[in-house]
Amino acid sequence: MSVRLCVFDAYGTLLDVAAAAREAAAAPGGAALAGLWQGLAADWRAKQLAYTWLRAAMGAHADFWQVTQDALDWALEARGLAGDAALRDRLLALYRRLPAFAEVPAVLAALQARGHALAILSNGTPAMLAEALASAGIAGHLDAVLSVEAAGVFKPARAVYDLVGARFGTAPEEVLFVSANGWDAAAGAHYGFVTAWVNRAGEPPDRLPARPHHVLPDLSGLPDLAGAA
């Protein structure tokens, strides 16, 4: 059965989650972040994901914008910046308009030209996603933007991956699911999707019940992969 639909994770896959801290450090008044932004960005992202998993396990859902703020507060305190309210506000504003990775627009256009339907399946709230995708200039390439808020739980709960079939009427094996999170690509493979892990950092695969079917260094090779899948 051939792939009918390409579904993307958003944050870290299409959108550069490190850009908020990087841009804040480079902007006027960003001296406090000059030597810290990479560590801050890593801490922020790690806690953001950890809080989604922990809230799912605890049955204590909060939307991704709240989780994003909670994770930033932890990261700022860990770096000795907890009292800088202006920096916090600047980082959150930048997070709402993260840029896409450089290859993303051309890749989405190529997939469209080859007849693939395109969608996002993200932990992000509908409002977060609408703002970020419009700011990044890629909203027009997408046939649907699916948020976990429709399921009330974060990835990798199966109820989240169920949203794809419910929206498009596809069988899991007709979906190429693309994520820069190795655990997400592995969970998607366990669910039944054909999966591609965009392993930008060259990390080893997670030891989970399934592994991604394909591993790419970035999204550039995706149109050919989708055509062959």
- Which residues are identified as catalytic? 9
Task: Pinpoint the alpha helices (H) of 137-181.
Answer: 158-168
Distance CA 219, CA 103 (A): 7
The tokens of 185 are what?
């690509």
Paired with 214 in beta bridges are 196
* CA–centroid distance for 72 within its chain: 17
Whole-angstrom distance, CA of residue 63 vs CA of residue 212: 27
What are 124's two structure tokens? Answer: 């992000």
Q: Which residues neighbour 153 within 8 Å (Cβ) at sequence distance 6 or greater?
A: 56, 61, 159, 160
Q: Report the distance separating Cα 229 and Cα 226, nearest Å.
A: 5
State the residue for tokens 């840029």: 99
**What is the β-pairing status of strands 5-8 and 144-147?**
unpaired
